[in-house]
Amino acid sequence: MDIRDGRELSPRKVVYLKFIKDNGGRVRTTDLATQFAVDPSTITKTIAELSETGLITHEPYRGICLTDDGNRYADYLIKRHRILSLMLTHYGFSHEQACTEASRFESQVSKEAIDRICAAMGHPGQGICGEITHDDGCHNQDPTP
Ligand SMILES: [Zn+2]
Ligand SMILES: [Zn+2]
């Protein structure tokens, strides 16, 4: 699977990837089942689909690990949420509302849009729910001097 845009994954997979990232890049199936209160068989299916994308590996004794690609992708997903939620606070949303609202539509927004918004906001270093990291994509959107 060619990953370029951030819209390839369903919201559930996005949430799983972010969870794995937040937990140091490695979790067990039971951690996901506990965290999201879903049936382990559902988790297994979603994890198998995610493995096919090359974003994670799943081995019997090592658990579920982010690959390098998966790690970069998770960084982007986190940035996407933080850029959009920060943007919403400019329109009168409270921090909590902005977080919730961004989670509703963030998986529909293209990377190009995120990169442009990031550049237009001057590459903010701090979002409302954490630090924002920047990649080459958003810097390429800077107006040429
Ligand atoms: Zn948030
Ligand atoms: Zn940026």
What separation in Å is there between the alpha carbon of 119 and the centre of ligand 2?
A: 5
Residues 88 and 34 in one domain: no
How many angstroms separate the CA atoms of 137 and 64, rounded? 28
H or E segment and range at residue 74? helix 68-89
Q: In terms of Cα–Cα distance, which of 5, 2, 1 is closest to 106? A: 5
pLDDT one-digit tens code per residue, 52-77: 999 999 988 889 999 999 999 999 99
**Average pLDDT for the chain:** 90
Residues 40 and 90 in one domain: no
Residues 121-138, mean pLDDT to the nearest whole number = 92
Q: Write out the residue range of the structural domain in which residue 15 sits.
A: 11-71
What separation in Å is there between the alpha carbon of 29 and the centre of ligand 1?
A: 24
What separation in Å is there between the alpha carbon of 67 and the centre of ligand 1?
A: 24
Residues 15 and 47 in one domain: yes
Among candidate residues 36, 51, 71, the one where a domain is terminated: 71
Residues 29 and 62 in one domain: yes
Judge whether 144 lies within some domain. no
What separation in Å is there between the alpha carbon of 133 and the centre of ligand 1?
A: 14
The model's pTM is: 0.86
Ligand approaching nearest to the C-alpha of 127: 1
Residues 35 and 60 in one domain: yes
Q: Residue 124's domain is classified under what CATH number?
A: 1.10.10.10
What separation in Å is there between the alpha carbon of 97 and the centre of ligand 1?
A: 9
Per the structure, how many domains does the chain have?
A: 2
